[in-house]
Chain A
């Protein structure tokens, strides 16, 4: 495997791109997921329809198809093309947000039903109820489900190869093409993915145990 040292800069750059798109995609997805969950809980009929169309589209179609739509189809229709990294992050965020909306809505409703009235009776306005009562509990409840999302998104970034993003797997393919040594290259990539995702999941486990509160176990 020592020959891979010759490509270390290339490998590190690919790995960092994978980490970057995963974390930004899931992070933006969390914001989108919260907004979509709030829209689905509180929105009027039109908002609920928009949220559901969004969620069903992104959950019901393959990520690769979504990438093609955002990278090729939309620019063809609108005449506005986006940078490949922006397209990648936007698509991953929209995809992740659709899944996270489901986890977050369940977690919010679990908090919401039995405590909203109590918070309301104290005179708290709705935005403070969300800030101080709903969100702190929903985020704790959702951590285990969020771990799955992070692991799944980390692996899904390999799909970005179809629009030419120089992510980790893409660097491996390029190295293999130059060296004709696929066994060592892909073994290295697999092990790196495994260590990276395992570390993220362990970190979330530690976080979950740190913020865990008796009686506030996940319901999902």
Chain B
């Protein structure tokens, strides 16, 4: 399968710390891949590089087969085609849920106010937040804010959506609100790359799971592979720890 988004030999260094070390992976249309691993293993940095929010120190990123940095493409245009959902929803506090979703539609895609409003409502409906459209972020729970964050990302009709531990800051109840939305998106065939510790979600929806540690991919395989017989001791120990 041709990858929509791919990185080859991606390395990201901060000072003397190697956050991501020579990572190569690709995600094909309609696929859901889950990256998991301990905190500080480089998952978020890898996603930020793939989302073109940080430039890798070394290596290449390909979007629909084109080397993003070598071809000197307009990064803003590409970013609009890659959805990103953050650990902290990072909603714009001066805008309502609807305003948050409309912002990119109006000022990036150039839709008219009416068209942006219609599309934003559609996206909010998809994450079951249409009744909260006129509420400000501070008036919403963490789970609701995260669902608006997801609506904001998917409203742009991105070719791939990257999720950076979207449930990490939520309590158990709110976590499942967000997971339900992500599961729904996966079932609709949205191309997704998800960094998460939610292995139950991974088992249900992932086409492939990728285990990272110390900035490197240690092992990749199907959910069944990880839940029955991971190859490496490190992955085995991590799975045992997470699953209790």
A interface, CB within 8 angstroms of B? 111, 114-115, 117-125, 128, 132-133, 136-137, 140, 213-216
In the complex, per-residue mask of B111-150: 1 if CB is within 8 Å of any chain A CB, else 0 = 0000000000000000000000000111100000000010
Number of residues from B at the complex interface, CB < 8 A: 31
In the complex, per-residue mask of B74-98: 1 if CB is within 8 Å of any chain A CB, else 0 = 0011111111101010111110000
Q: How far is the CA of A140 from the CA of B136 in the complex (A)?
A: 15
- A selection of 16 A-B contacts at a CB cut-off of 8 Å is A114-B90, A117-B86, A118-B90, A118-B92, A119-B92, A119-B103, A121-B53, A121-B79, A121-B86, A123-B78, A123-B79, A123-B80, A123-B108, A124-B103, A128-B107, A133-B103
In the complex, per-residue mask of B150-178: 1 if CB is within 8 Å of any chain A CB, else 0 = 00110010000000000000000000000
Task: Tell whether A121 pairs with B84 under 8 Å between CB atoms, given A132-B103, A213-B136.
Answer: yes
A122 touches B103 (CB 8 A): yes
Closest to B107 in A: A128
Q: 20 additional contacts, CB 8 Å, given A213-B136, A216-B94?
A: A111-B93, A115-B90, A117-B53, A117-B84, A117-B90, A118-B90, A119-B92, A119-B103, A121-B83, A121-B86, A122-B152, A122-B156, A123-B78, A123-B79, A123-B81, A133-B94, A213-B93, A213-B138, A214-B138, A216-B93
A121 touches B51 (CB 8 A): yes
Shortest CB-to-CB span from B26 to chain A, Å, is 20
Task: Tell whether A215 pairs with B138 under 8 Å between CB atoms, given A117-B53, A132-B103.
Answer: yes
Residues of A within 8 A of B83 (CB): 121
B139 touches A214 (CB 8 A): yes
A215 touches B76 (CB 8 A): no
B interface, CB within 8 angstroms of A? 48, 51, 53, 76-84, 86, 88, 90-94, 103-104, 107-108, 136-139, 149, 152-153, 156
Shortest CB-to-CB span from B134 to chain A, Å, is 12
Q: How far is the CA of A132 from the CA of B88 in the complex (A)?
A: 20
B107 touches A118 (CB 8 A): no
B137 touches A215 (CB 8 A): yes
Q: How far is the CA of A137 from the CA of B76 in the complex (A)?
A: 23
Closest to A120 in B: B53
Residues of B within 8 A of A213 (CB): 93-94, 136, 138
Residues of A within 8 A of B149 (CB): 118
B93 touches A132 (CB 8 A): no
A122 touches B104 (CB 8 A): yes
Shortest CB-to-CB span from A203 to chain B, Å, is 21
Shortest CB-to-CB span from A110 to chain B, Å, is 10
Q: How far is the CA of A119 from the CA of B92 in the complex (A)?
A: 8
Task: Tell whether A114 pairs with B107 under 8 Å between CB atoms, given A120-B53, A215-B138, A216-B93.
Answer: no
Shortest CB-to-CB span from B240 to chain A, Å, is 34
In-complex Cβ contact of A123 among B90, B104, B136 (8 A) = B104
Shortest CB-to-CB span from A216 to chain B, Å, is 5
